[in-house]
DNA sequence: TTATTAAATCGCAATATTGCGATATATTAA
DNA sequence: TTAATATATCGCAATATTGCGATTTAATAA
């Protein structure tokens, strides 16, 4: 007990949930918004930007990398992070189609 | 330590993260998809639908209710759940505007 | 009233997440 | 080589989530 029972759900449901999980922390939202705002690779000032400890920031960056939504490229002594536009688009489309089909005439109890 | 440092982030970032958290479990995705598919209030068969224990299902329903995205109305001995279309729309719009501004010509390192 | 049914809550155990200091790793500069 | 800089990883503590059996709560049925 304690671990999610992924075998009960469809692959699509698990994928959407895991994408949501990647976004489920304000630090990760902030990192993504920062990268989008810069619209370029960002080398090395994300720690200062966030206000969390370096180790914690690195942890969040790792989660975003695992989710595929950002890429980290080694550039000399530092690492450059940027949005992966292809994965970003996939997120966008999956969330979009998830939220699409609700009509407002939902006559509730 | 261990708790999210919400005070470091904007209200908008915390809100989006908390919305993502509500979606960050396949059981909750499954519940929402089920309610959307039925396009009506669903009284009492969500536990059978999911495959999780009654207590666990109730817990997930509670989280979705706390997030505001579903409503539960008492109907005799059972409870009827349905999407709150207004909150659903809000989710849709916030995620939409979050994912909007990424151009593909993101020339990465 | 008593039994039945449906859902919520309690209490617990297992696991996951968040955060950080300390340390390790890797690259550049001197 | 040695020092400096940037990032990753380790190890730990605190907190949160997931899941479930057992119990409680609330409404209907008999």
Scanning every residue of chain A, which has its alpha carbon at the shortest distance from the alpha carbon of B11?
A: A26
Kindly report, residue by residue over B30-82, the tens digit of the pLDDT: 999 999 998 888 988 999 999 999 999 999 999 999 999 999 988 888 899 99
Q: Which pLDDT does position B102 carry in this prediction?
A: 77
* Tokens encoding A28: 């990760």
Question: Which pLDDT band, with edges at 50, 70 and 90, does B12 fall under?
Answer: very high
Name B residues 20-39 whose Cβ lies under 7 Å from strand D. Answer: 21, 24-25, 27
Strand order through the sheet with B42-43: B42-43, B78-83, B70-75
- Does some domain include residue B20? no
Distance CA A54, CA A58 (A): 6
pLDDT at residue A108, rounded to an integer: 60
Domain encompassing residue B39: 25-98
Q: Does residue B89 fall inside a structural domain?
A: yes
- Per-residue pLDDT for B105 more than 80? no
Classify residue A103: in a domain, yes or no.
no
Residue A10 falls inside a structural domain: no
Measured CA to CA, the distance from residue A23 to residue A3 in angstroms comes to 19
Among B11, B22, B102, B107, the strongest candidate for a mutation testing the A interface, having the largest count of A CBs within 10 A, is B102
Q: Give the model's pLDDT for residue B107.
A: 54
Position B48 in a domain: yes
Contacts (Cβ under 8 Å, ≥6 apart) of A58: none
User: Structural domain tally of chain B?
Assistant: 1
Please give the interface size between A and B, counted as residue pairs whose CB atoms are below 8 Å apart.
Answer: 157
**Strand C at less than 7 A from CB of A50:** no
Q: Does the residue B12 lie in any domain?
A: no
Confidence at residue B40, expressed as pLDDT on a 0 to 100 scale: 85
Q: Residues 62-81 of A near strand C (Cβ < 7 Å)?
A: 63, 74, 76-77
CA of B106: which chain A residue's CA is closest? Answer: A40
Domain assignment present for B51: yes
pLDDT of residue B2: 73
Structure tokens at A58: 């690195």
Q: State which residue has its Cα closest to the C1' atom of C8.
A: B58
- Looking at strand C, which nucleotides approach a protein CB closer than 7 A? 4-11, 13-22, 26-28
CATH code, domain carrying B64: 1.10.10.10
Cβ neighbours of residue A80 closer than 8 Å, sequence gap 6 or more: A41, A42, A43, A44, A72, A73, A74, B108, B109
User: Tell me: the pLDDT tens digits for A36-58?
Assistant: 998 888 988 999 999 999 999 99
- The reply to whether A11 falls in a domain is no
- pLDDT for residue B106 is more than 80: no
Point out the residues of chain A with pLDDT beneath 50: none
Q: Provide the pLDDT for residue A2.
A: 73
């Amino acid at each position: 007990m304690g671990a999610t029972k992924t075998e009960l759900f469809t692959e699509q449901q698990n994928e959407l949930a895991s994408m949501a999980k990647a976004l489920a922390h304000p630090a990760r939202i902030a990192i993504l918004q920062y990268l989008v705002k810069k619209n370029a690779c960002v080398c090395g000032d994300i720690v200062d930007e966030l206000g969390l400890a370096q180790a914690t920031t690195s942890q969040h960056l790792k989660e975003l990398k695992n989710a595929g939504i950002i890429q980290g490229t080694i550039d000399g002594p530092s690492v450059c992070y940027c949005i992966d536009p292809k994965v970003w688009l996939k997120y966008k489309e999956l969330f979009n189609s998830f939220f699409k089909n609700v009509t407002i005439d939902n006559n509730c109890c």
